[in-house]
Amino acid sequence: MARFVAVMVQAVPFLTLGVVLSSAIAAFVPAGFFHRVLPGRPALAVPVAGACGAVLPGCECASVPVAGALVRRGVAPAAALTFMLASPAINPIVLVSTFVAFPGQPEMVWARLTASLGAAVAIGWLWIRLGRTEWLR
Predicted confidence at residue 16, as pLDDT, reads 86
Report the number of secondary-structure helices (H) and strands (E) in the chain: 7, 0
User: ∠ CA(74), CA(79), CA(80), 5° rounding?
Assistant: 70
The residue count for the chain: 137
Please compute the mean of the pLDDT values over residues 50-65 and round it to a whole number: 84
101-135 pLDDT tens trace: 999 999 999 999 999 999 999 999 999 999 887 77
56 Rama class: left (phi>0) / alpha (psi -120 to 50) / beta = beta
Give the type of residue at 95: L
Helical segments of 29-76, H only: 33-37, 42-52, 60-72
Please compute the mean of the pLDDT values over residues 87-101 and round it to a whole number: 92
Residue 3 in 3-state DSSP? helix
User: Residue 131: exposed, middle, or buried by beta-carbon count in 10 A (0-12, 13-18, 19+)?
Assistant: middle
27-48 pLDDT tens trace: 898 878 888 888 889 999 999 9
How sure is the predictor about 7, in pLDDT bands with cuts at 50, 70 and 90?
Answer: confident
